[in-house]
């Protein structure tokens, strides 16, 4: 029995010793800037796929090309561990700006690519982004955004705007078309929509005003404020206060828990629960 205990102790010590692995930390301290361009005179749509890092897209009147500036941050040991391509197929352009991997132990920022894009203002956008802030401005076409995390600002869009967002604040302003938002969490601010507004939100405060159409809002939790809506406001709310002021009509399917304040409803006013 004694020998067994000694052998077990030695085995345990060896096992514990073998489990101690000290990984050397990596730093995204290598920076390189690259520029890409593509003739866009025959193009009408632009698909953008980005990983981690900020993304800015600006539409410019009279511009006949796509111009991309990418600031790439990675470890100097892995300077080729990213993908940056700009291609065309048919009437569409395709951009990929992604690091192949950011796993491991990083000191400071992990690898990311910050991208600034200038496009013709009439180019439709379809964006699939991993993480990081997004700013889209001055697009005279439809904009579709799928975003994992990070703050999102969309302004001056002359078409429908569709957003599917995981987390982060959303600001939408001056949209000449419908706005459709599916959001996991984060504050939502909407101003000046010349179309219908639809929001399906998990949690976070919602503030919407100056909507020239109907507003259909399904909210899990968080305060909701809606002002100056020409059409009918429809609300299905889980929890949080509701404040409706100046609407063409109002239908509350579920008010959940929280206070309810309603004023200046011009048309039908229905509360189901």
| DSSP symbols for 6-72 | HHHHHHHHHHHHHH---PPPEE--EEEEEEEEEE-TT--EEEEEEEES-EEEEEETT--EEEEEEEE
pLDDT band at residue 104 under the 50/70/90 scheme: low
SS3 110: coil
Residue ending a domain, among 103, 138, 173, is 138
**Sign of the CA dihedral running 159, 162, 168, 172:** positive
Task: Tell me: do 173 and 121 sit in the same domain.
Answer: no
Task: Tell me: do 115 and 171 sit in the same domain.
Answer: no
Residue 242 lies in a domain: yes
Task: Tell me: do 129 and 33 sit in the same domain.
Answer: yes
**Which tokens hold the place of 103?**
């796993």
pLDDT at 257: 83
SS3 143: strand
Task: Tell me: do 121 and 55 sit in the same domain.
Answer: yes
Beta strands of 106-255 (E only): which ranges? 106-107, 112-120, 124-131, 134-139, 143-149, 152-157, 161-167, 170-175, 179-185, 188-193, 197-203, 206-211, 215-221, 224-239, 242-254
Distance CA 39, CA 84 (A): 17
> Which structural domain, as residue segments, surrounds residue 80?
24-138
- Among residues 228, 239, 238, 267, the alpha carbon closest in space to that of 251 is found at 267
pLDDT higher for 107 or 120? 120
pLDDT at 107: 60
Task: Tell me: do 128 and 206 sit in the same domain.
Answer: no
Residue 109 lies in a domain: yes
- 8 A C-beta contact, residue 195 and residue 160: yes
Task: Tell me: do 101 and 65 sit in the same domain.
Answer: yes
Is residue 268 predicted with pLDDT exceeding 70? yes
pLDDT at 101: 61
pLDDT at 13: 44
Q: What percent of the chain has pLDDT over 70?
A: 86
**Sign of the CA dihedral running 153, 160, 192, 225:** negative
CA separation, residue 58 to residues 172, 194, 197 (Å): 15, 21, 23
142 CB-near residues (< 8 Å, 6+ apart): 124, 125, 159, 160, 161, 162, 177
Residue ending a domain, among 138, 171, 189, is 138
Task: Tell me: do 29 and 130 sit in the same domain.
Answer: yes
SS3 177: coil
Task: Tell me: do 115 and 197 sit in the same domain.
Answer: no
pLDDT higher for 85 or 9? 85
pLDDT at 78: 67
Residue 164 lies in a domain: yes
pTM to 2 decimal places: 0.87
pLDDT at 146: 97
Task: Tell me: do 179 and 260 sit in the same domain.
Answer: yes
Q: Among 25-34, 100-109, 160-169, where is mean pLDDT lowest?
A: 100-109
Task: Tell me: do 112 and 207 sit in the same domain.
Answer: no
Residue 12 lies in a domain: no
Query: For the residues 146-175, what does the mean pLDDT come to?
Result: 97
Task: Tell me: do 51 and 99 sit in the same domain.
Answer: yes
pLDDT band at residue 117 under the 50/70/90 scheme: very high
Residue 70 lies in a domain: yes
Where do we find the tokens 């002021």? 245
């Amino acid at each position: 029995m004694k020998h067994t205990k000694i052998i077990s102790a030695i085995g345990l010590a060896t096992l514990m010793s073998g489990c101690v692995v000290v990984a050397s930390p990596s730093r995204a301290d290598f920076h390189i800037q690259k520029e890409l361009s593509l003739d866009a005179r025959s193009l009408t749509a632009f698909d953008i796929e980005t990983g981690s890092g900020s993304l800015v897209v600006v539409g410019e009147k009279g511009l006949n090309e796509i111009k991309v500036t990418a600031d790439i941050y990675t470890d100097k040991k892995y300077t080729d561990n990213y993908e940056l391509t700009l291609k065309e197929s048919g009437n569409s352009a395709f951009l990929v700006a992604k690091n192949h991997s950011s796993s491991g132990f990083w000191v400071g920022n992990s690898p990311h690519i910050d991208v600034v894009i200038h496009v013709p203002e009439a180019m439709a956008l379809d964006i699939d982004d991993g993480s990081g802030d997004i700013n889209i401005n001055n697009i005279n076409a439809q904009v579709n955004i799928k975003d994992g995390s990070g703050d999102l600002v969309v302004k001056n869009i002359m078409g429908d705007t569709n957003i599917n967002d995981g987390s982060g604040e959303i600001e939408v302003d001056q949209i000449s078309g419908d706005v459709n938002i599916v959001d996991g969490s984060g504050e939502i601010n909407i101003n000046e929509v010349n179309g219908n507004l639809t929001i399906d939100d998990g949690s976070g405060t919602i503030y919407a005003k100056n909507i020239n159409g109907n507003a259909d809002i399904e909210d899990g939790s968080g305060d909701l404020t809606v002002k100056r809506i020409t059409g009918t406001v429809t609300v299905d709310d889980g929890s949080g206060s509701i404040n409706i002021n100046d609407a063409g009509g109002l239908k509350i399917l579920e008010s959940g828990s929280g206070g309810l304040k309603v004023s200046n409803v011009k048309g039908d006013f229905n509360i189901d629960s």
